[in-house]
Chain A
Amino acid sequence: MAMSRDEIFGEVQEVLVDALGVDDDEVKAEATLMGDLGAESIDFLDIVFRLEKAFKMKIPREELFPAESLMNSPEFINNGKLTETGLAELKNKMPYIELGAFAKDPDINKLGDLFTVGTIVSYIGSKLSAA
């Protein structure tokens, strides 16, 4: 299935509008799911289910939103920050993500800011091109 980034964005936008009860124009590529769009943990599962239907693919939750598995391991978290190993693991699990400033100050409270609408679009794009 060949889809342009704009087409993927359109579908993702529709999914987020339905799942989070937000308006079309709030769902911008740089909007963070938790901070800007008010997503809670159960919403992430809702989003995963809806994306699976919209794009007809299987999405393992920890693949799209790997934060929880990182949070629960002392190997990856130390003193409220991701360790070197944790950061490497995050990069490994989410190669499509732009770490930017987070790599310099990997405070776990800012982990949520990494999950933007654009992240989902990139993830779906990488899945589609791998298929």
Chain B
Amino acid sequence: MRWIWIDKFVEFHSGERAVAVKNVTLAEEHLHDHFPGFPVMPESLMIEAMAQTSGILVGEAKNFQEKVILAKVKKAVFYDYVKPGDTLKLDAQIESIAPEAASTSGKITLGEKLIAEIDLMFSHIDQNLGGKKFPKENFVFTETFELLMHDVLPGSSSSSAPKSEQD
């Protein structure tokens, strides 16, 4: 199993908002234990899925130059169960972004139904923690995450409209 809890991005507006989808399937081992006879997606993994959606949005805003680490779960409220076969939509927005950190708000929906509201804070760790040194390479944003963005990279039909280039 890979630690990746979203399947792809379907919308990406740099520095503002991103939407990802997650297809839940019985092939995920943990659903057989959570719970036997009643498989539902763990809420902690919904937080992780939103952290990946929001975290990539925050990372892209600074061209993936910062190491973006989840620092605080400001709010996590869950309204309904998520079951195998469900397709979740994870909608994340940047509320504030500064050199050291960013705060985001997010909603998870299943069709029209609200499943969860998850607001997070991320730290740009190189800018924090009293000058503590971290490895030079960006261990947060790896190739796996690039795959998720194929559909929304500039040039593809579903990406946001390109900025006009008027003088």
Residue of A nearest to B102 (CB): A49
Is there an interface contact between A45 and B98, defined as CB atoms closer than 8 Å?
yes
CA gap between A49 and B120 in the complex, in Å: 12
Q: Of all chain B residues, which has the CB nearest A68? A: B130
**Interface class of chain A by DSSP:** helix
- Of the four ranges (under 10, 10 to 19, 20 to 34, 35 or more), the interface on chain B belongs to 10 to 19
Chain B residues within an 8 Å CB radius of A68: 130
Instruction: Assess A42 versus B96: contact at CB under 8 Å? Given A68-B130, A72-B130, A72-B131.
Output: no
Interface assignment of A5: CB less than 8 Å from any CB of chain B: no
With A42-B72, A43-B72 as known contacts, state yes or no: A49 contacts B96, CB within 8 Å.
yes
Contact size range, A: 10 to 19
Within 114-143 of B, Cβ neighbours of A (below 8 Å) are at 121, 123, 128-131
**CB contacts between A and B, total, < 8 Å:** 35
Closest Cβ neighbor of A49 among chain B residues: B96
A94 an interface residue at 8 Å Cβ cutoff? Answer: no
- Sampled A-B contacts (18; CB under 8 Å): A18-B74, A19-B74, A42-B71, A42-B123, A45-B100, A45-B103, A46-B72, A46-B74, A46-B103, A46-B121, A49-B98, A49-B101, A49-B103, A52-B96, A53-B96, A61-B98, A72-B130, A72-B131
* Supplied contacts A52-B96, A72-B130, 19 more A-B pairs, CB within 8 Å: A18-B74, A41-B128, A42-B71, A42-B72, A42-B121, A43-B72, A45-B100, A45-B101, A45-B121, A45-B123, A46-B103, A46-B121, A48-B98, A49-B95, A49-B96, A49-B98, A49-B103, A68-B130, A72-B131
